[in-house]
Amino acid sequence: MSDSATLPTVQDALALGLTRAEYELVCAHQSSPPNQVELAMYSLLWSEHCAYKHSKKLLRTLPTEGEHVVMGPGENAGAVACGDGLVCAFKVESHNHPSAVEPFQGAATGVGGILRDIFAIGARPIAVLDSLRFGEVGGDRDQRSRYLLDGAVSGIAHYGNSIGVPTVGGEVYFEAPYEQNCLINAMALGLAPRERLVRSAAAGPGNVVILFGASTGRDGIGGASVLASAELGDEHGDKRPTVQVGDPFEESKLLECSLALLDRGLLVSLQDLGAAGLTSSASEMASAGKVGIDIDVSLVPLREPDMEPFEIMVSESQERMLCVVEPARVADVLALCERWEVHGTAIGAVTDTHRMRVFDGPALVGDMPVSALVDDCPLYDLSPARPTTPIYAPPTATLASGACPRECLLALLCSPNIASRRPLFERYDAIVQSRTVRRPEQADAAILAIRHPGEQARVGEDGAGTDGADTGAGGNGGSGNGGPVPALAVSIDCNGRRVAADPYRGTIEAVLECASNLACVGAEPLGTTNNLNFGNPERPHVAWQLTEAVRGLGDACRALDAPIVGGNVSLYNETSSGPIYPTPVIGMVGRLPDARTAGRLGFARAGDEIALVGPFAPSLHASELSKLHGHSLPDELPGIDIAAVRSAQFAVRGAMRVGGLSSAHDIAEGGLAIALAECCLAGGCGAEVRLDALADQDDDNHDPLRVLFGEAPGGFLVSGIATGVRALGRRTRVRIIGTVCSDALRLDLGELSLTASLAELAEAHGALAELFL
């Protein structure tokens, strides 16, 4: 380099997030101090966000292989085989810090980013789910949480609805530790014929590198390093310019264009531009393919003039893709871009230099070994230490300690973590693409038909309509020809408060709950994705949370044969008031052979038997009820028999598939009584339930609150005709507890008798509506 006149200093490197030692390492790799372009690129690729430098060693312990896995971690998204020559690509990713700074665009571009990850490997996005965490709502200090909630939900709706991908599920929790650092995790699924899958590795020196999509502006500069890899301070309003702005219309064109390019076999490889923009996309493509890449920033279409070369290289402008193309196919690629009104430009070439070189016209303005940039960032060992004093303050009590069971039931139903999510789900299009077999709140997992039902209808119909009454869908489903309708099921979950109480067991519980949700609809797991949201890993107690959670994640996924195919890590979710609850969000995808027997959660028929299924041993530790009572977190959760839970899942799944059950629901927050109320509300039926058998068998202290509202993994509430319900007993524990009836929930337990009408339950359950008035 000749432009050594104004070389950046170590101070500049520190400001960009590198440590002094890392800066010295960069100098060694470069054989001289890096110039501005090089320092900017190193600072991003060596950031926590890109390099996973505090988590990579842990992540290597996770199970990533299994019979269904087609693409594991390391690509833009993971993929599993889902039958019929098709693969399902899926991944969850966070956009936490951008959303804390600017919730609408932060959440919107979070959705945009995860969708690009899916179509970057050649899959058509078919569904979005989201996992959200905010501070408490409902008190007098909740303005910030409500602002973030409304902005984030609006942003997700804006992007997902506009691009025509249904938002089919999700979860949201409200807890004080998220007040200053909300979490916005978005998960997407896509489908592709197996042969269309494409990897990101660049190949073939002499091949052309084409940038297509939106033009490049100054938005999102430094997002990965400054925003995503550091704690949020009080001045984070200043960081608003580092948040990107999304354009779903541009992405819609980009999606169609990318899939069309792949369908015609015009691309060698494809990669989206996400965090760290061109820098990470080009470097990672070069690294994966063990080649070099030259980029000429003077060829990049700009949104504003006079951008510096380093700005062009690090811009996080949205809706852009990078592909490698053989020279003979460049004209075809550019023509197809034009057809979709997407701007495509050749900006560089693959080389055999193993170097990432940046040109500004004829001038070489950056020259770095690819391996140094991508692979040689130092990895750090954590120094985990179990905290000796509580990390989190007890929650504020909102329910009197002497509240009777009926008061507890209604208070739990209207509490923000349990109340109906309908006010959120109604903001999202859940049905576009015509695959949505179960809408939100109809079942524990979302269900998506793998083949477009219209395609199936045509197969059996010989094209022409016959009679209006019989045209199209058959009475029992959409297949028209009466055949099975294979489907995907998907669930996303994590109860951060339980993980905070016990990172190892709490994480196992999150994985088990996802699998239980799949079992309730009749699906078996194919693979798992995860988003590890934690505080500052350089603090020993956070390092301990992270280490324990990853250990639990690995153990649970191994035990369930649900390997990890991809994921994301979001660290430094911490402010001056402390870290967030450790929140390893789990997304699990499963398959069911025939959606026509897919489960529902609601009671369906008066007279059906109701049974408690599985090794359910409830406790009030870290339960929602103990939160309402203001109890501090316990030091640990009770032990879990994963194998017994797995047997119960197996039994419920099997019974659902043969049509033996009318409903199935996993018992989670709020315990058995809340699960019963949810089944009543979802089905519009009442229930008469007697719980003495539970208290007699299990209870040492005969605490009715523990039976009614205690929580634990491995419990299912099912209903159906007597023979169907009792057949479950061959594989797992079944306790018949009552019958479905007309219009009220009645619970009897010893002396205690509690009745609530459906109308009362519905009113309490609808409490979140007022947040969106």
Partner 1 sequence: MRFSCSTTAARHTVKFGVLQFPGSCDEVDALQAARRVGDAELIWHAQRDLQGAEAIVVPGGFSYGDYLRAGAIARFSPVMESVMEFARDGGLVLGICNGFQVLCEAHLLPGALLPNANLRFTFRQVELDVVAPDTSFTRASDGLTRLSIPAKHSWGRYYADDPTLDELERRGQVVLRYASGHNFNGSLHDIAGVSNESGNVFGLMPHPEHAVDALIGGSTDGLTIFESMRLTVEGARV
Phi, psi (rounded to 5 degrees) for 439: -85, 165
Q: Is 428 in the site for partner 1 (CB under 8 A)?
A: yes
Please identify which residue in 1, 330, 473, 762 interacts with partner 1, judged by CB under 8 A: 473
Site string for partner 1, 381-420 (x = CB under 8 A): ----------------------------------------
**Phi and psi angles of residue 166, each rounded to the nearest 5 degrees, phi first:** -70, 140
CB of 160 to partner 1, least distance (A): 10
Decide: is 434 part of the binding site for partner 1 (CB under 8 A).
yes
Does residue 466 touch partner 1 according to CB under 8 A?
Answer: yes
Among 37, 418, 512, 595, binds partner 1 (CB under 8 A): 595
Pick from 455, 635, 743, 763 the residue near partner 1 by CB under 8 A.
455
User: Hey, what amino acid is at 579?
Assistant: P
Min. distance of Cβ 452 from partner 1 in angstroms? 6
The rounded distance, in Å, linking the Cα atoms of 492 and 736 is: 29
Residue 655's identity, in one-letter code, is: A
435 binds partner 1 (CB under 8 A): yes
Segment contacting partner 1 by CB under 8 A, of 109-117, 195-203, 247-255, 260-268:
247-255
Give the CA dihedral 567, 571, 573, 575, nearest 10 degrees.
180
Part in contact with partner 1 (CB under 8 A); list of ranges 133-141, 461-469, 606-614, 701-709 = 461-469
Amino acid identity of residue 433, one-letter, is Q
Burial of 69 (0-12, 13-18, 19+ CB in 10 A): buried
Kindly determine how many residues on this chain lie close enough to bind partner 1 according to the rule CB under 8 A.
Answer: 56
Is 770 a binding residue for partner 1 by CB under 8 A? The answer is no
Q: Is 164 in the site for partner 1 (CB under 8 A)?
A: yes
Q: Which segment (30-38, 95-103, 343-351, 469-477) binds partner 1 by CB under 8 A?
A: 469-477
Q: Does 572 bind partner 1 (CB under 8 A)?
A: no
**Which of these segments, 202-210, 476-484, 509-517, 604-612, binds partner 1 (CB under 8 A)?**
476-484
85 or 460: whose CB is closer to partner 1? 460
Shorter beta-carbon distance to partner 1: residue 384 or 423: 423
Give the residue, chosen from 252, 298, 619, 632, that forms a contact with partner 1 under the rule CB under 8 A.
252
State yes or no: residue 644 binds partner 1 (CB under 8 A): no
Helix (H, G, I), strand (E, B) or coil at 599: coil
Dist. CA 107–CA 134, nearest whole Å: 13
Nearer to partner 1, 39 or 157 (CB): 157
Based on the shown chain and the rule CB under 8 A, indicate whether residue 685 belongs to the binding site for partner 1.
no
Q: How far apart are CA 208 and CA 293, in angstroms?
A: 9
Of positions 449, 586, 633, 725, contacts partner 1 by CB under 8 A: 449
In whole angstroms, what is the distance from residue 700 CA to residue 691 CA? 15
Distance CA(181)–CA(183), nearest Å, equals 7
In 370-502, DSSP assigns E strands to 436-438, 446-449, 487-493
Angstrom distance (rounded) from CA 754 to CA 447 = 35
Would you count residue 726 as binding partner 1 (CB under 8 A)?
no
In the set 28, 400, 404, 431, which binds partner 1 (CB under 8 A)? 431
Q: Counting contacts by CB under 8 A, is residue 665 touching partner 1? A: no
For residues 26 and 659, what is the distance between their CA atoms, to the nearest angstrom? 62
At closest approach, how far in Å is the CB of 436 from partner 1?
Answer: 6
315-344 residues in contact with partner 1 (CB under 8 A) are 340-341
CB within 8 Å of 242: residues ≥ 6 apart? 98, 101, 220, 221, 222, 223, 226, 227
Residue 380 or 772: the one with the smaller Cβ distance to partner 1 is 772
Closer Cβ to partner 1, 542 or 598, answer by number: 598
CB 154, min distance to partner 1, A: 8
**Contact pick of 369, 474, 540, 634 for partner 1 (by CB under 8 A):** 474
458 near partner 1 (CB under 8 A)? yes
Q: Are 737 and 611 in contact (CB under 8 A)?
A: yes
Q: Which of 408, 419, 430, 620 binds partner 1 (CB under 8 A)?
A: 430
Query: 742 with 669: CB under 8 angstroms?
Result: no
Structure token digits, residue 646? 């797995």
Query: Quick one: which segment of 55-63, 157-165, 512-520, 616-624 binds partner 1 (CB under 8 A)?
Result: 157-165
d(CA 543, CA 536): 8
139 in contact with partner 1 (CB under 8 A): no
Asked whether position 763 contacts partner 1 by CB under 8 A, the answer is no
Asked if 8 contacts 38 with a C-beta cutoff of 8 angstroms, the reply is no
In whole angstroms, the minimum distance from the beta carbon of 423 to partner 1 comes to: 10
Report helix angle 248-263 to 143-163, nearest 10.
40
Among 306, 381, 467, 700, binds partner 1 (CB under 8 A): 467
CA distances 612 to 53, 638, 692, 734, Å, are 45, 20, 13, 6
Rounded Cα distance between 592 and 658, Å, is 12
Pairing status of strand 446-449 against strand 355-360 = unpaired
The CA-atom distances, in angstroms, between 424 and each of 132, 141, 445, 773 are 11, 21, 17, 12
Residue 653 lies near partner 1 (rule: CB under 8 A): no
> Interface with partner 1 includes 465 (CB under 8 A)?
yes
Which listed range, 30-38, 50-58, 160-168, 173-181, lies at the site for partner 1 (CB under 8 A)? 160-168
Please give the Cα distance from 579 to 387 (Å, whole number): 13
How far is residue 573's CA from residue 347's CA, in Å, rounded to a whole number? 36
Question: Which are the catalytic amino acids?
Answer: 49, 95
CB of 349 closer than 8 Å to CB of 326: no
Residue 479 binding partner 1, by CB under 8 A? yes
For residue 392, give Cα distances in angstroms to 118, 368, 491: 37, 45, 28
Count Cβ atoms below 10 Å from residue 730 Cβ, excluding itself: 9
| Pairing between β-strand 344-351 and β-strand 292-296 as defined by DSSP bridges | antiparallel
Least distance between partner 1 and beta carbon 473 (Å): 4
| Residue 463 vs 639, nearer CB to partner 1 | 463
Q: What does the binding site for partner 1 look like in residue numbers (CB under 8 A)?
A: 154, 157-158, 161-164, 247-250, 252-253, 340-341, 425-437, 439, 449, 452-455, 457-458, 461, 463-468, 471-479, 485, 595-596, 772
